[in-house]
Structure 1
Amino acid sequence: MRSARVAWRHSLRFRLALVYTLVALALISMIGLGVMTLLLRQMDSQFQTRLNERADTLAEAFLGGGQNLGKSPGGAGTYTMIIDEKGQVLAATPSLRQYEKAPFPFAGQAEVQLNGSPARTATRKLGDFGTLWMALPEDALVDARQSATRALLLALLVTPVLMLIAGWWVGRRALADLGAAADLADRIDPTRSVATLPLPAREDEVHRLLAALNRLLVRIEAVQAREKQLLGQIVHELGAPLTVLKASLTRASERTHDPEVMRAALVADELTFTAQDLMQLARGHLEMKVAWHFIPAVALRGRLDRLVPGTGFAGDWGGMLLCDPDRLTQALRNLLANARRAAGPDGTVTLNLTETADHVTFTVRDSGPGLPAELGERIFEPFISGSGSSGLGLSVARQIARLHGGALTAGNAAEGGAEFVLTLPGAALGDDEEEAAPAEAAPSA
């Protein structure tokens, strides 16, 4: 049996990898934003400190009379202007000469645009002479902000992909033992001895889970053993009384030819087969022996008519059948009994026989509600029933069909109700096959 594979989007390792990736992404985002914010604040603080230091140096140089502001004493990239008490620009660096002898244009602005670049400003009092205004370009600070933002965005885009791949690989290795155990569990046949799952070398959560499953399997096997033992004891206790009852009813029917006694004898005969089937089931598998006979189809019809009164028969019953009469009667009786239960006392049950050169087909139809769609093929499993019965009859019927080289299928008829089709190989055999079939067949159970 091939083990079922879980779709990748539903697999545990994918979910673990996805959760791991989302958690890692959230942590990286928070940590990255925090680090970038702290870094940019430090850079901003350093820039402001540098601006203040330059402003203080220029003010000291002017008051000391040892510098010429028109020659940019603050260094390259520094903008300076001297403003008098009336707000007029007295002097400026060469790049700002257009503002000289004019009103100061940047009053109260902490940041300005100069020559297409942002610049931060600072002012210093020059005693009674006026005010020193200075601006320092922020190009480097802006570039640093943009670089940090791009780096964070790239990390947020690349990291989830790498995390997902790494998490998938790590999860695959970590859950490899669990996957192997699942594959082995798929191959366990519950009708035989329940095998335990291999435990991984690492005593982790997977080891603990598989160990718990092994203990559960051992308990299940013990319960199954007790159930089989109890079923075997019950069948054994029923076997002897049924054998005596069958023999007594058979002798009584031969003496009296009473129809009711003959019907009771057939029922006792069927119960004997059912008890034997239950015994085989108690041993862990359903095995039956087939005794081949060449019988008229009408004889089979007579037995079924006595076992399930009210059955309607259709088709051609004038031919011959190669089968085990007792077993085939048991299979068809099970189908007809289930159909009668489903149809109710006022419903109809029909058994149709059609024969070709290759196949003999029995079709059982009823006027009941039909088969539950959710059961599907499970309706042929032991103790699964859609009509209120014990659930063993359909399983036995399919087994009998297969022992005859045929098949049993179930469905719902187009006009309503359930439909069971039992197909057997045709009786057109060669001389050698006709002689070999009885010789190879086992005696009737």
Structure 2
Amino acid sequence: MRRRLISSTLAVVLVVIAVFGLSLVVVETRTIESSAKDGVQSEAVRLVGIVENRILAGEPVDAKSLNPQIAEDRYAVVRVPGRPEVHLGGHPRGKVISSVQDGDHGESVTVAEPRSVVSEQIGRTLLVILAVALLAVLAAVALAVRQARRLASPLTDLAETAERLGSGDPRPRHRRYGVPELDRIADVLDASAERIGRMLTAERRLAADASHQLRTPLTALSMRLEEIVATADDQDTVKEEATIALGQVERLTDVVQRLLTNSRDPRTGSAVDFDLDEVIKQQIEEWRPAYQAEGRSMGLSGTRGLRAVGTPGAVAQVVATLIENSLMHGSGTVTLHTRVTGNQAVVEVSDDGPGVPSDLGARVFERTVSGRNSTGLGLAVARDLAEADGGRLELLQQRPPVFALFLAQEMPPHPRREQIVI
């Protein structure tokens, strides 16, 4: 920006100098030439008067008496009828400016001045004009640099403020720069920072309150399920279902606890090294009855024995969201495929359904965006959970749909591959 301001100011000054400078050169040149002609003519008129007076007084008209009457850089010829010509001054070389004046008694005087004298005067004038123009350019550059610093520094500071605001630091800076337009932008940024700060505070308070309120009923529900498991020794089905429900409650409790922790300090992480196969196995066991009720099946393939880095409860929630999304919107067999790419473990969830509509492909992870009458929050929340521990959730293919969860991983020495159909 500084370069643009300096360049634009300098361009304006150069245009002004070019327009007015050329006009001034033309005017001064004509003025000097006109003044030279007037001077030669005045000199001729004066010499004619002197010659005429000497003739009337009977005095001699010669070079000795007339030389003191003419300037050093001029040349004159005096002609008197019946007398020889009188030459005054040195004969000029080259082009001259001359004037001829006649007297009342037939005498005439021719006065000439070398054009080089006029050219020298014009040259000196041009040098003066050029020096003034150069000073004007230097002054303009100095002024442009000063103005550029005055404007560029506040703009850089405002950009840093906006960047801080976008990176999650909503503290207002309360800096002003003495420029009304820039101060207005600073006012807007400070007001926005204060609003964002209030919104973040309210959001964290809401998350903390909700998490705190959910912990108590979840604890009570967990205790009731534990009692059911303890008293259902002779009813294997009831015990199995209660055990599964207890596992779900424990994972939900972990998620609530994580929300509560993040609401207090968003920078606190809970990522650990865990067995990715165990999480996937739990999700298949939990969702298998729902798929069987719909007449559908679940398949598991790919690399086994993988370990990943993340929050097990959050990863389970992400996988559960993808499986539920396939149950609601997909069809046929849903397949969970695990693989390794680079230093990441990947969990792919796909089915035989029609896939994601073309108009929703780029927006499928946005909140409130849904292909049906659902809330549109599931995939958005799942992506946030994945990114919270350094992973990512992506739509690799729209038709048939393939969603992939990427997690940092630790590769075992000898992973094995197998195909399992459930």
TM over 0.5, shorter chain: yes
User: What does residue range 221-260 of structure 1 map to in structure 2 within 5 Å?
Assistant: 221-230=197-206
Residue type of the partner of 1:78? R
197, 221, 232: which one aligns with 2:173: 197
Shift in Å, 1:394: 0.4
Shift in Å, 1:58: 1.8
Q: Provide the residue aligned with 1:285 in structure 2.
A: 266
Q: Is the 8 A contact 2:279 2:312 kept in 1?
A: no
Q: Is 1:142 aligned to residue 128 of structure 2? A: no
Residue type of the partner of 1:218? E
94, 97, 117: which one aligns with 1:116: 94
Q: Is 1:168 aligned to residue 130 of structure 2? A: no
Q: Is 1:408 aligned to residue 396 of structure 2? A: no
Alignment CA distance shift 1:428-1:45 (3 Å)? same
* Distance in structure 1 (CA, Å) of the matches to 2:289 and 2:115: 104
Shift in Å, 1:396: 0.3
Q: Is the 8 A contact 1:308 1:333 kept in 2?
A: no
Alignment CA distance shift 1:383-1:56 (3 Å)? same
Q: Provide the residue aligned with 2:11 in structure 1.
A: 22
370, 381, 394: which one aligns with 1:392: 381
For each residue in 1:245-304, what CA deviation from the matched residue of structure 2 results, as whole angstroms up to 9, or x when unmatched?
888899799986799999999988877666666555655627564687656576246147
Q: Provide the residue aligned with 1:423 in structure 2.
A: 407
Q: Provide the residue aligned with 2:417 in structure 1.
A: none
User: What does residue range 329-344 of structure 1 map to in structure 2 within 5 Å?
Assistant: 329-335=316-322
Q: Provide the residue aligned with 1:354 in structure 2.
A: 339
Shift in Å, 1:57: 1.1
Q: Is the 8 A contact 2:386 2:392 kept in 1?
A: yes
* Distance in structure 2 (CA, Å) of the matches to 1:255 and 1:368: 41
Q: Provide the residue aligned with 1:219 in structure 2.
A: 195
* Distance in structure 2 (CA, Å) of the matches to 1:23 and 1:54: 46
Residue type of the partner of 1:116? G
Q: Provide the residue aligned with 1:51 in structure 2.
A: 40
Q: Provide the residue aligned with 1:441 in structure 2.
A: none
Q: Is the 8 A contact 1:191 1:284 kept in 2?
A: no
* Distance in structure 2 (CA, Å) of the matches to 1:92 and 1:340: 126
* Distance in structure 1 (CA, Å) of the matches to 2:323 and 2:80: 118
Report the secondary structure of 2:119's partner residue: helix
Q: Provide the residue aligned with 2:74 in structure 1.
A: 78
Report the secondary structure of 1:353's partner residue: strand
Q: Provide the residue aligned with 2:61 in structure 1.
A: 67
Alignment CA distance shift 1:355-1:256 (3 Å)? same
Q: Is the 8 A contact 1:296 1:318 kept in 2?
A: no
Cα root mean square deviation, aligned: 5.7
Shift in Å, 1:19: 3.7
* Distance in structure 2 (CA, Å) of the matches to 1:373 and 1:139: 84
Q: Could you tell me the TM-score, scaled by structure 2's length? A: 0.62
Gaps of 5+ in 1: 1-10, 98-113, 430-445
For each residue in 1:202-228, what CA deviation from the matched residue of structure 2 results, as whole angstroms up to 9, or x when unmatched?
755566654553344223322433344
Report the secondary structure of 1:224's partner residue: helix
Residue type of the partner of 1:354? R
For each residue in 1:11-69, what CA deviation from the matched residue of structure 2 results, as whole angstroms up to 9, or x when unmatched?
2x333333433344455556655665665565445434422320111211332335348
For each residue in 1:399-435, what CA deviation from the matched residue of structure 2 results, as whole angstroms up to 9, or x when unmatched?
24x4xxxx43647569997663523434749xxxxxx
Alignment CA distance shift 1:428-1:133 (3 Å)? same
* Distance in structure 2 (CA, Å) of the matches to 1:226 and 1:122: 97
Q: Provide the residue aligned with 1:328 in structure 2.
A: 315
Report the secondary structure of 1:392's partner residue: helix
Q: Is the 8 A contact 1:120 1:136 kept in 2?
A: yes
For each residue in 1:69-99, what CA deviation from the matched residue of structure 2 results, as whole angstroms up to 9, or x when unmatched?
89876444434457999xxxx95848999xx
Alignment CA distance shift 1:266-1:225 (3 Å)? same
Residue type of the partner of 2:111? M
Q: Is the 8 A contact 2:76 2:89 kept in 1?
A: no
* Distance in structure 1 (CA, Å) of the matches to 2:383 and 2:278: 25
Q: Could you tell me the TM-score, scaled by structure 1's length? A: 0.59
Q: Provide the residue aligned with 2:301 in structure 1.
A: 315
Alignment CA distance shift 1:359-1:329 (3 Å)? same
Residue type of the partner of 2:406? L
Residue type of the partner of 2:101? R
Report the secondary structure of 1:140's partner residue: helix
Q: Provide the residue aligned with 1:299 in structure 2.
A: 281
Shift in Å, 1:142: 1.7
Alignment CA distance shift 1:255-1:166 (3 Å)? farther
Percent identity among equivalent residues?
Answer: 16
Report the secondary structure of 1:195's partner residue: coil
Moved more, 351-360 or 143-152: 351-360
Q: Is the 8 A contact 1:120 1:138 kept in 2?
A: yes
Q: Is the 8 A contact 2:17 2:133 kept in 1?
A: yes
